[in-house]
Structure formats: structure tokens, C-alpha cells
Amino acid sequence: MQHVRLGGAALQMPVAASCRRCHMNSWSAVERCYRGVLASTSSTVSTGASLAPVRRVGLRQATRAAASPVVAVAASERPTILVTEKLGEPGIELLQQIGDVDKAYNLTPEQLQEKIATADALIIRSATQVTKEVFQAAGGRLKVVGRAGVGVDNVDLASATDMPPPLCQPSPSTCKQRAPHGCLVVNAPTANTVAAAEHGIALICALSRNVAQADASVKAGKWERTKYVGVSIVGKTLAIMGFGKVGSEVARRGTGLGFANVIAYDPYASEVKAAALGVKLVSWEEALAQGDFFSLHMPQTPQTKGMFNDDAFSKMKKGARVVNVARGGVIDEAALARALDNGQVAQAALDVFSKEPPPPDNPLIGRSDVVCTPHLGASTTEAQEGVALEIAEAVVSALKGELAATAVNAPMVPAEVLAELQPFCQLAQGLGTAAVQLVGSHGFTDIHITYATSRGDDLDTRLLRAMVIKGILEQITTSTVNLVNADLLAKNRGLRIRETFVSAEGKGVLASLKVSLGTSDTKFSAALGTDKRISVAGTVKGTQSYLTRVGTFDVDLSLQGIILLTRQLDKPGVIAAVANVLSKEGVNISYMSVSVTPDNDAVMALGLDQEPPEEVLDQLPSLEGITETCVLAEKL
């Protein structure tokens, strides 16, 4: 059975006329071949009559063992890393090993925009607002924003993903052809998990026994024992709103404190994970109705902003207690003040606010029934050092062009999944690279990716799809394609992407991968499948990517180095004649694969140690029995 996933809309790759001169000047030699100098308002990718076809293509760079999928453009020189909020020294020291660290704290928005133009990386905490204007001021140089912590609501993720490259010259004001460059945004989601959970538990205990109020009373010279009688935790229900890393750690500790029931609301949480911790997942309505203590651990999104409002508080038990160590914006602060006034909520403990620091007119500041702390969730010595190292490592990886498991404006890839998919990422990029370099002068209209997997459509293909797009577009454009902007670049070029899943036996994540392009115009006719589309397929053996099929011909060769494809008659002397021509020029053959059909049609694939000279390639089609040739080599 096949499962099909569709993407994109239009079937063409448009070439707009605006800023035509600087846009066309930016084309690489390969893209000039594909587009043509006579392109006007719109066309498919095509070849102009005045340009000769480019024979050699890029493959080695996509598949060499050392090449990893990237999510940020690797910095070619020592990068400048701007740190706008205090970061632990272990992180600073790590950053200084690979770049020049500029520590500039308490910047105004205008000062940040001025400094960002010279920065390759930016590291922030929760106070710095990285807006659309900041990304625009970066001028395309900024490669990664690192958030030392979990929440990224102070970063404009859409603008980061759509960030343009440097302006074209000499007419930047009129240029409209700048493709999105993509700035990676990474966070540090694990190092402060325990610290945040501990602070949540501390606030729960402080509320239940009026610790903060009693402390202030004694320091004021009073002794009010009867005034600060508390409530017991034992026998109560703890409702955890948001069952992620921090929420699950609070659940572990809540059970140990003696809560009779620990329930959780999270529409994306695993019931198996919750059950393993003795937690029952419930609906939003059930959580509000059953909870005595509410511990908030949800991110601030458009869906969760102001989620705890008048309606939510009205559905809680009278006298409920609310603790928030997540994001301030998930609570409607005016609504909470009203709930406290009428006794619906007995007490609240807040480590975060909708605006930080909270202004004097915040309705929750100065109340005796509200405990306030200045965003201390991650403020332990151990957590600060851990967060500093975690974000520094993520930023360093991004600046090196490596894939980051903590990217937040790219498909989220857990470390274990990343390790599992890594060999197939190289395969996906290599197949994309090979397929597009088999395209003839009239271009192609769509991409079809087929995954042979035992996991069916449960396989998360976002990373693999991005690598196929990267392999294709980086051969025919000057755009830098990465995990952040791959889908957007494909969409902007009008490419329709279709994904199909076919069943495969075995326990591996992927048995094989096939990439086909919507065109019958090819430099190598043997690359056409039965559906008259260019088609290549491959698999992974060990950690090495292999090309296993070209069109309808089975092959077996490593997707690494330079590959010579020949179509020929299956008769004696042909292979020897090709080898003789190559050997005369000192071109060594490292491996060979030949596929033969019943009617004596054959395709030979040769792995070469170096790229053959033009004059050698020109000799091959004249050999008896050879009908066509094609070389897959390094990108021009």
C-alpha cells in the first residue's frame, strides 16, 4: 500500500523580472545554464541558446563522510558572537575558542540593531527582544540566535526563517529577488529543567505555609502565628498544566511530597510517559475542576496566551492556588487579580510576568496573597553553568554548519532520532544532487520522494525532505539551502513536492529512498523511469550511502566521489575500451557496476579517483557501443 503526502501548489519555477540585472548576475554557471539569459517575466527553469550545457555536476560534497547536514551557513572566518545578557563563564570560554565574543549588556533596541550588523551569532536570555527589525538590520550576516533558556517568545521566529541575505549591489533598494537565507534559532531546553522544577516545588510549599508573608512579618517586628496558618499538601490534587520536561519533573517531586493525586493537562503528552510517573492525563475542563494546586509549565503561544482568564478561574475549586514558573503571558493578570479579590483563587506564586520587570501598576504586585520572584526558575549555580554550556555548544555547532537538535524554527529532531537519520540525510542530499544534475535544458516541474520504510507514514520525513531539497536547489541556484529555509525556498520557486510511503520489511528506519523529478528531458536517457521521469534511488549500508538504481537500471556504487555513467550495448570490448581511454590520461577506476537488460542494453557506473579532463569525456561517445555518457562530479 502506498501513502501519499502532497506539498506545494504551483508546478513551475518562476523567474520574476524585477531587479533582473542583479538577480541574473547572482546566478551560478549551473543556474545560468538552467535558466538562460533570455528569461523574462516568468518561465520554467530553462537553458538559453547562447549558453552551452554544463556536463559536470555536484555530488562529492553532498556525500563525503565528513559532510553533515547543516542548519546554518558555516562561518569561513573567525565569527563575531554578540552576547547581550549575562552568560556563565564556562559558556563564554567555549565561545571564545572559536570566535570573538562581544559582551554588550542592557542595549536599547536601536543599539542592538546597530551592533547586530557585525554579528554572526547572537546569544540572549529573556530580556532581549529579537524583532523583525533586528533581523533586517543584520543584513543577512546573522547565522544563529541562541536563547539561553527554554522560551523563545522574545524572538520573531517567522522573521528569522524568512531573513534575507545581504542586499544586492548596485541597486539594493530595488532588488526583490533576494531568497530567504534563514537564521537558525536554538535554545537550551534541558540544562535548567531540574532548577525550574525545584523552584516550582519551592513556590508550592511557600504558598501552602505562607512562608514569604510570615518572613516579612517577623522582619517587621511582628509575631503573627495565627494569621499565617497554612494548608497541608497531603491529600490534595496537583494539576500540572503542560507536561513537558519541567512539568514531568514537578510530577516526580509532587508525588514524593504526598499529593493524593497528580494529574496533568497536555494535549501532546504521551499517556505511556504519564502513567510511568503515576500521572493521569486529563482534559482541560477536568484539570480545572479537580485541581487544588495548579503548577503551570506551558509555552506561550498564540493558543496559550491569556489561557488562564476569567472563565478558567471560574471553573476552578474555590480557594485554588496557582503557581507559574512558565511564561507570564499564559495568565491574564487582570483576571487573576479579580479571582484573588473574590476568593475564587486563594493565593498565587509568580516567577514570570507578561512584562518583565513588571511595572508598578501591575495588579498583582504588592498583594499579600501573591508571592513574587524575579524569574528565578533557572537561577541556580548549577543551572546557570549548564545553560551557558548548552547554548554555547549549540551556537558553536551552528556556526560550524552542523545540525542542531535544539533548533526551534526548524523541524524538531530529538537527539536519538537525529542519530538514527544522520546516514539517510547524506543519502537524501546525495540523491537530490544526482537527480537534478541529470536534468536536461528544459528543467523540471516537481519533486517526488518515495520512502521505503517499515514505519509507514509514521516516519517523520521533514529532515529528509529538507536534505533532498538542499541537494537539488544548491546545484541550480546560488541560494544557501538549510534546514530552516528549505521548504520555503522550494515553495518560493513554485516547486510541488509529493511524498509517498511504501511498505518495507525490517526494523530499520528506512530501507531505501527514491527521488524523481517531473521531466522527461534529461542528459542521460537511461535515468528515465517507466513513468518517463528522471529517477534515482539509494540505500545506506553501514554508514555509507549507495546509489542502487538509475531510471530502470540497477546499480550498486557508493555515492561518494566522481561517478561516470555510460549507456552502452552489452557486448565484448566496450568496458575495456572505456577503461583504456581513462587509463591513458591517468584516471583510475576505483569501482564499477554494470546493469544489463534482456535486450542487451546496459548502464555502467564507474567510480573515479579524479575528474576526467574534457578531452577524455569528449572521446567516450565515439567509442563503439557507447550511446551516451554523463559525469557526476563536484559542484561547479
From residue 249, alpha-carbon distances to 195, 242, 252, 293 in Å are 10, 11, 5, 16
Kind of pairing, strands 512-517 and 446-453?
antiparallel
DSSP 252: H
The residue count for the chain? 636
CB crowding 473-493: b at 16 or more within 10 Å, else e: bbbbbebbbbbbbbbbbbbeb
User: Alpha-carbon distance 183 to 166, whole Å?
Assistant: 13
Q: Which are the contacts of 158, defined by CB distance < 8 A and separation ≥ 6?
A: none
User: Alpha-carbon distance 447 to 519, whole Å?
Assistant: 10
Cell of 162: 524568512
User: Alpha-carbon distance 3 to 500, whole Å?
Assistant: 5
The helix (H) or strand (E) run that includes residue 110 is helix 109-116
Backbone angles phi, psi at 500, to 5 degrees: -125, 145
Q: Which are the contacts of 182, defined by CB distance < 8 A and separation ≥ 6?
A: 160, 161, 162, 163, 480, 482, 484, 485, 488
Region label for 172, one of left (φ > 0), alpha (ψ between -120 and 50) or beta (otherwise): alpha
Q: Give the helix ranges, DSSP H, for 405-455.
A: 415-436
DSSP 141: -
Burial degree of 150 (CB within 10 A; 0-12, 13-18, 19+): buried
Q: Which are the contacts of 275, defined by CB distance < 8 A and separation ≥ 6?
A: none
Cell of 513: 529512498
Residue 81's Cβ-side half-sphere holds a number of Cα atoms within 13 Å equal to 30
Asked if 356 is an active-site residue, the reply is yes
Other Cβ atoms within 10 Å of 331 Cβ, number:
28
Other Cβ atoms within 10 Å of 272 Cβ, number:
7
Of the candidates 167, 187, 192, which has an alpha carbon nearest to the alpha carbon of residue 179?
167
Burial degree of 8 (CB within 10 A; 0-12, 13-18, 19+): middle
User: Alpha-carbon distance 204 to 192, whole Å?
Assistant: 18
Other Cβ atoms within 10 Å of 564 Cβ, number:
24
Asked if 327 is an active-site residue, the reply is yes
Cell of 163: 531573513
Catalytic residue from among 375, 533, 549, 567 = 375
- Beta bridge partners of residue 147, listed in sequence order: 124, 187
The distance of Cα 403 from the centroid of its chain, to the nearest Å, equals 8
Asked if 375 is an active-site residue, the reply is yes
Of the candidates 515, 500, 547, 501, which has an alpha carbon nearest to the alpha carbon of residue 447?
515
Catalytic residue from among 327, 465, 493, 549 = 327
Euclidean distance between the first and the last CA atom of the chain, given in angstroms as a whole number: 40
Catalytic residue from among 114, 224, 356, 382 = 356
Q: Give the helix ranges, DSSP H, for 291-407.
A: 310-314, 333-341, 381-399
Strands annotated E in 45-127 = 80-83, 100-103, 121-124
Instruction: Give me the active site residues, please.
Output: 327, 356, 375
